[in-house]
Amino acid sequence: MARCKLIAFSLLVLVMLSLSAAAQSDPISKPDIQPYGDYPSPDGQAKAQTTQNPAYQAPDKNNPKEVELDDVTFNEIGGLRADPRAKPGHPGSAEDLHDARVAVAEVAERVLQSSHPEREQAPHRLTNETVRDLNAGNRDVIRALNDSLSAARSGSNTTQGAMHFRTGRHKFNSLYGHKATMFFGPFPDATGGKRYLTIAP
Amino acid sequence: MRTSAFLLVSLLLMASSPSSAQGATKIRLTQSETKALVQAVQDEIYDRQYQGHFFPEGGPVGDIISESRTRVPLYVDPVLEDGEGEAIYKLMPYGEVLRLFHLHDDGMIVLDGDPELGFPASQPNRKTVYIKDGDLDRMKHDWVKSSFEIDLSPSPDTIQDVVRRQKQRTGGFSAWEIAHSKENKKPQ
């Protein structure tokens, strides 16, 4: 009887250990950086692609608002990646990440259109590192930029007029004293760690 | 009996395997890892050529060591969660920042976020002016106090080493290389 109990207990612990190991975050592999030679200025955006990579969809240069919104959205959450283990439509999935970008684009646009557009957000231009990654054909960055543009163009109101967002290692109960209304993630960050997005009115 | 022994051995093996080791969500930062963090902070400053911002007219940022060298406090949360830690330090020209960092398996420390984003309040890497005074005081009081030194004019050899390490950390990106590549392309 004691032997049976020991076996049963051991099996239970084995199962729990396996589940625990599976639940750990796998380290994110380093971006697939390729050799590069030319560095356009962030203002000039980037052009280079390879045939194996998704095509980069540049924002409409004649539409500064779109460029600005695209870049702010990417800069705010472009480093986040969909969790490959998340079920479609569930927190952390590619769909959830797209919805998060849409939410950020919506709030960012409201801030830019508000009477206080100077309220600090991420910069309205891509950083040198992003441009370098783009020129190097980094697929994750190209996908994130394309998705940011799609979010910027969505013109939706999924956040129902929300004016605040924040990314962090955990969810926030409130922002600016307003109870949070939407949460996204957790998403793996390109350099490691997990990030959530919180939205509040 | 044999089955029990097998299961016990399996348990011990699993407990000592790397995947189980990763299961330890919280670990304490060692002295050598703190040194690696100091180097990561210094390397980023030199790679981005921020060192001049630590020596503004009127007096340096930090405690002066010499006319061209200063020591800047660095506060580090001694506990890493899932390989991710937090530090507070003055990163000029932005001011004091709360910065996340990642400890890699090879002991290398990689700072989180891109300084060009300017550490806005919406990001986990943010300027400490956005943190409540009480929280900031508590963090500085409870965390390990270390420091890093900044030289106004690092030698070319130092810069070469910095660029090499930065490229290892970032998968090939060096702000210094990009800046100098642009300079070299300017018409003579």
Q: pLDDT (tens digit, 9 = 90+) per residue, B119-130?
A: 999 999 999 999
C-alpha–C-alpha distance, residues B146 and A18, integer Å:
39
Q: Is residue A3 part of a domain?
A: no
Tell me the mean pLDDT in the region A94-123: 91
CB-facing half-sphere around the CA of A22: CA atoms within 13 A: 9
Q: When comparing pLDDT for B70 and A58, which is higher?
A: B70
- Please report which confidence band the pLDDT of residue A40 belongs to, taking 50, 70 and 90 as the band edges: very low
Paired sense of beta strands B95-103 and B109-111, if any: antiparallel
**Interchain proximity B11–A21, CB inside 8 Å:** no
CB-facing half-sphere around the CA of B30: CA atoms within 13 A: 7
The pLDDT score that the predictor gives to residue A19 is 39
Helix (H) or strand (E) holding A187: strand A182-188
C-alpha–C-alpha distance, residues A112 and A76, integer Å:
14
Q: When comparing pLDDT for B10 and B67, which is higher?
A: B67
Q: Is residue A189 part of a domain?
A: no
Tell me the mean pLDDT in the region A69-95: 94
Tell me the mean pLDDT in the region B78-92: 96
SS3 B162: helix
Q: Is residue B185 part of a domain?
A: no
Q: When comparing pLDDT for A189 and A52, which is higher?
A: A189
Q: Is residue B137 part of a domain?
A: yes
Q: Token digits for A17?
A: 């250990």
SS3 A154: coil
C-alpha–C-alpha distance, residues B3 and B7, integer Å:
6
Best of A5, A7, A24 to disrupt the B interface (most B CBs within 10 Å) is A24
The pLDDT score that the predictor gives to residue A12 is 52
Among candidates A127, A145, A154, A125, which has minimal Cα distance to A53? A145
- Please report which confidence band the pLDDT of residue A175 belongs to, taking 50, 70 and 90 as the band edges: very high
Residue numbers in A near B4 (CB within 8 A): 3, 6-7, 10
- Which three-class secondary structure string do you get for A64-124? HHHHHHHHHHHHHHCCECCCCCCCCCCCCCHHHHHHHHHHHHHHHHHHHHCCCCCCCCCCC
Tell me the mean pLDDT in the region A178-195: 94
- Please report which confidence band the pLDDT of residue A169 belongs to, taking 50, 70 and 90 as the band edges: very high
Name the burial class of residue B19, with classes exposed (0-12), middle (13-18) and buried (19+) by CB atoms within 10 angstroms of its CB.
Answer: middle
pLDDT at position B187 over 70: no
Average the pLDDT over each of A35-44, A119-128, B73-82, B95-104 and give the range with the smallest value.
Answer: A35-44
The pLDDT score that the predictor gives to residue B171 is 87
Q: Is residue A106 part of a domain?
A: yes
- Domains of chain A: total: 1
**For residue B72, what are the domain limits?**
25-174
The pLDDT score that the predictor gives to residue A117 is 85
Q: Is residue A5 part of a domain?
A: no
**Interchain proximity A127–B116, CB inside 8 Å:** yes
Return residues 85-124 of A near B (CB < 8 Å): 120-123
C-alpha–C-alpha distance, residues A162 and A158, integer Å:
9
pLDDT at position B185 over 90: no
**Matching residue, tokens 């503004």:** B56
pLDDT at position A24 over 90: no
Q: When comparing pLDDT for B94 and A2, which is higher?
A: B94
At residue B152, what is the residue type?
A: L
The pLDDT score that the predictor gives to residue B5 is 55
pLDDT at position B15 over 90: no
The pLDDT score that the predictor gives to residue A120 is 87
- Interface check for A177 against chain B (CB to CB < 8 A): the answer is no
Q: Is residue A6 part of a domain?
A: no
Q: Is residue B180 part of a domain?
A: no
Residue numbers in A near B102 (CB within 8 A): 191-193
- Please report which confidence band the pLDDT of residue A3 belongs to, taking 50, 70 and 90 as the band edges: low
Contact in structure between B35 and B87 (CB atoms under 8 Å): no
Average pLDDT, chain B: 88
The total number of residues shown for chain A amounts to 201
Q: Is residue A65 part of a domain?
A: yes
The structure's pTM equals 0.79
What is the torsional sign of CA A58, A61, A63, A66? positive
Q: Is residue B16 part of a domain?
A: no
Picking from A30, A121, A136, the nearest residue to B120 by CB comes out as A121
C-alpha–C-alpha distance, residues B64 and B47, integer Å:
22
pLDDT at position A53 over 90: no
The pLDDT score that the predictor gives to residue A7 is 57
Phi, psi of B120 (to 5 degrees): -70, 165
- Please report which confidence band the pLDDT of residue A185 belongs to, taking 50, 70 and 90 as the band edges: very high
SS3 B97: strand
Q: When comparing pLDDT for A20 and A193, which is higher?
A: A193
Contact in structure between B109 and B37 (CB atoms under 8 Å): yes
pLDDT at position A18 over 70: no
B180: which residues sit within 8 A by CB, 6+ positions away? none
The pLDDT score that the predictor gives to residue A16 is 47
The pLDDT score that the predictor gives to residue A157 is 93
The total number of residues shown for chain B amounts to 188
Q: Token digits for B90?
A: 């003055």
Helix (H) or strand (E) holding B182: helix B175-185
Q: Is residue B19 part of a domain?
A: no
Among candidates B165, B22, B98, B169, which has minimal Cα distance to A191? B169
Tell me the mean pLDDT in the region A97-125: 90
**For residue A89, what are the domain limits?**
32-158
SS3 B66: strand
CB atoms within 10 A of CB A46: 24
Q: Is residue A101 part of a domain?
A: yes
The pLDDT score that the predictor gives to residue A64 is 87
- Domains of chain B: total: 1
**Chain B residues bordering chain A (beta-carbon distance below 8 Å):** 1, 3-4, 7-8, 10-11, 14-15, 19-20, 22-23, 81-84, 100, 102, 104-105, 110, 112-114, 116-118, 120-124, 170-173, 175, 178, 181-182
Tell me the mean pLDDT in the region B134-141: 98
Q: When comparing pLDDT for A19 and B25, which is higher?
A: B25
**Matching residue, tokens 């965390």:** B143
C-alpha–C-alpha distance, residues B99 and B85, integer Å:
8
Best of A128, A165, A199 to disrupt the B interface (most B CBs within 10 Å) is A128
Helix (H) or strand (E) holding B156: helix B156-170
Q: Is residue A71 part of a domain?
A: yes
- Please report which confidence band the pLDDT of residue B188 belongs to, taking 50, 70 and 90 as the band edges: low
The pLDDT score that the predictor gives to residue A124 is 86
Residue numbers in B near A10 (CB within 8 A): 4, 7-8, 10-11
